[in-house]
Amino acid sequence: MFENFKPLPADSILSLVKMFREDPREQKIDLGVGVYKDASGATPIMRAVKTAEKQLWEQETSKSYVALAGDPGFSDVMVDLVLGDSVARETVAAAATPGGTGAIRQAFELIALANPDARVFVSNPTWPNHVSILNYLGMEYVSYRYFDSETRGVDFDGMLADLKEVKAGDVVLLHGCCHNPTGANLNLTQWQAVVDLLNETGAIPMVDIAYQGFGDGLDEDAAAVRLVASSVPQSLIAASCSKNFGIYRERTGILMAVSADASQRGLNQETLAFLNRQNFSFPPDHGARLVTLVMNDAELRADWKAELEDVRVGMLNLREQLAGELQRLSGSDRFGFLAQHRGMFSRLGTTPEMVTKLREEHGIYMVGDSRMNIAGLNAQSVPVLAKAIIDVGV
């Protein structure tokens, strides 16, 4: 059996990590890995999460399984966080998953189960694992235009033109906020146009929201997904707690299925539990329990929100500093898009050759498509990056 294995393509980001680790230069900058880092380069445990862990250690009396869909309390706080009061709770089925990736995988499995002929429309570019999972599952997908390489903003006309090809039963995968890898987001007027198109065609939205709180604020970042969920008959939402709670290794995510008819919720809930059972049985609970403790304690929730806001504002300040430094060095405002993007990532919009020059000549590591993690910077490294970008002729 094993002799039938064939070498698989190397993960570009993991390969970049290895190259960065083996680079002997002292002045090198890692903008490749998609995790939040503070000014010292660490990925800290948030204060409220640390306190919740202490509480959990004292309170927890069993490590027995919880339920196939996870703890209902976790579902409740996550539905509230992501959807607020935009839809009635009794219309939302939800199941905990191993991270946001697990939620996306389960959503694709659900789509294939419900409609094997469904096509999934995916933005170009998108998070590479979207396409990787679709390919692995043998599901048909169609790319739609999204990023304008000239303006470094959204090619909204191209996006709408491509999405007009969707048919009833197809699924449109959308990034709820902080688009990965570009950082370029739709405004609410554009979101309304997408909603109108979905209702006209009968296509079903699937929203991936992995960075709520990293863009314009918790409620502001959820505005689009709330608009979608409240405006279409059915929707899928995959949410992650890795970034905004800083619990990457706890693998804490959730998949929600929203229907217009509350009577559909029971069957949706059974289906989500069934899919969990087929894939991993019971989802991990530790991270979900921490999130639940934080969200249900007014003091911890306030402290979490305050620290998350510090993280968000810190990334915005780095964006503005970088855009300003590039304007000073270039005498041009052509890098102003960096201050307009939101979330951890921006796509610089340059060639793979330029990305290679940045790495080889300046020790600056970013993904080959020029996606860079803004959170990998600090006030001291921003001028270094800006000078390198100008030196290589971006």
Q: Which two tokens stand for residue 44?
A: 């800290």
Torsion, Cα of 192, 193, 199, 204 (10° steps): -80
pLDDT of 12 strictly over 90: no
pLDDT at 274: 98
Q: Which residues are catalytic?
A: 127, 208, 210, 243
Q: For residues 25-30, give the mean pLDDT.
A: 92
**DSSP summary character for residue 371:** E
Instruction: Give the global pTM.
Output: 0.95
pLDDT range class, residue 34, cuts 50, 70, 90: confident
pLDDT of 160 strictly over 90: yes
pLDDT of 162 strictly over 80: yes
User: Is 282 strand, coil or helix?
Assistant: coil
pLDDT range class, residue 282, cuts 50, 70, 90: very high
Nearest to 358 by CA among 321, 322, 318, 389: 389
Nearest-angstrom CA–CA distance, 48 and 343: 22
pLDDT at 91: 98
DSSP 13-69: HHHHHHHHHH---SS-EE--S-S---TTS--PPPHHHHHHHHHHHHH--------TT
pLDDT range class, residue 284, cuts 50, 70, 90: very high
CA 134 to chain centre: 17
DSSP 151-197: TTEE-HHHHHHHHTT--TT-EEEEE-SS-TTT-----HHHHHHHHHH
Judge if the upstream peptide bond of residue 383 is cis by omega within 30 degrees of 0: no
pLDDT range class, residue 275, cuts 50, 70, 90: very high
Class of domain 11-45+301-391: alpha beta
Q: What are the structural domain ranges in the chain?
A: 11-45+301-391, 65-296
Q: Are 376 and 29 in contact (CB under 8 A)?
A: yes
Beta carbons within 8 Å of 47's beta carbon, 6+ residues apart:
303, 304, 307
Q: Which two tokens stand for residue 327?
A: 């304007």
CATH topology of domain 65-296: Aspartate Aminotransferase; domain 2 (3.40.640)
Identity of the residue numbered 373: N
**DSSP summary character for residue 206:** E
pLDDT range class, residue 146, cuts 50, 70, 90: very high
pLDDT of 168 strictly over 80: yes
Q: Which two tokens stand for residue 367?
A: 């993904």
pLDDT of 43 strictly over 80: yes
Length of the chain: 394
Burial class (CB in 10 A: 0-12, 13-18, 19+), 263: exposed
Nearest-angstrom CA–CA distance, 325 and 379: 11
pLDDT in tens, 217-230: 999 999 999 999 99
pLDDT in tens, 288-309: 999 999 999 999 999 999 999 9
Torsion, Cα of 359, 363, 367, 373 (10° steps): -150
Antiparallel, parallel or unpaired: β 364-365 and 29-30: parallel
Nearest-angstrom CA–CA distance, 197 and 61: 50
pLDDT at 14: 80
Nearest to 33 by CA among 351, 388, 366: 366
pLDDT of 33 strictly over 90: no
